[in-house]
Amino acid sequence: MELIAQADETGLAASGLACLDRCVPLFGDRVDEQALRPLWANLADGTAWDGALAGVRRSLEPGGTGGTGDAGDAGDPAGALARRMLAAVPAERTTGALRTWADGCSAAALQIHRLLDATDDGVAPLVAAELRRQIRVLELLAGSAPGGGLRQVLDVSTEGRRVLRAVVSRRARTASG
């Protein structure tokens, strides 16, 4: 919470985007892992955020080029949370809107990891790892020149996405087997 409160506009956008990026596996097995790349590129070069966002939404929404159509329904609370994170991305990159979104993404990502973790007692390992990633992302951004930490943030996010993809795949195998 404290790191989000101290983050600038780019840090807030990257923080929320990193949380959403780690949750991309919840949008379905046919979704392009790089679906959020246009928004990441926007953070680096300042191109039109709203145009990039519209394209990302088309590719991730049910019936889009990558979505499975029914992922994120009432039977999939983790997927529904990920879709709400996407729906809540502000169309304009303003500090106030991004702060609200980044804070919501942080809470939603932790809840998603809580829902997917098989541990019933104590701090769930998936949740603890997600919290560490969130803190690392904000620390990377706080300690760098504008735009300088984005590559490392993307690396942290990619690692988290791979972990979540493995969890989602394992759950799908267990449910079908």
> Between vectors from CA 111 to CA 106 and to CA 114, what angle results, nearest 5°?
130
- Asked whether the whole model's pTM tops 0.85, one would answer yes
Give the pLDDT confidence score for residue 53 in this predicted structure: 95
Give the pLDDT confidence score for residue 122 in this predicted structure: 72
Give the pLDDT confidence score for residue 65 in this predicted structure: 46
Q: Which two tokens stand for residue 125?
A: 């390992």
| pLDDT in 10s for each residue of the chain, 177 residues | 788 888 888 899 999 999 999 999 999 888 899 999 999 999 888 778 999 999 999 999 875 544 444 444 557 999 999 999 999 999 999 999 999 999 999 999 999 999 998 776 777 899 999 999 999 999 998 876 555 688 999 999 999 999 999 999 988 888 876
Task: Report yes or no: 165 and 158 within 8 Å, Cβ to Cβ.
Answer: no
Give the pLDDT confidence score for residue 148 in this predicted structure: 60
Instruction: Give dist(CA 32, CA 101) in Å, integer.
Output: 23
CB contact burial 55-77 (16+ within 10 A = b; e otherwise): ebeebbbeebebbeeebbeeeee
Give the pLDDT confidence score for residue 81 in this predicted structure: 97
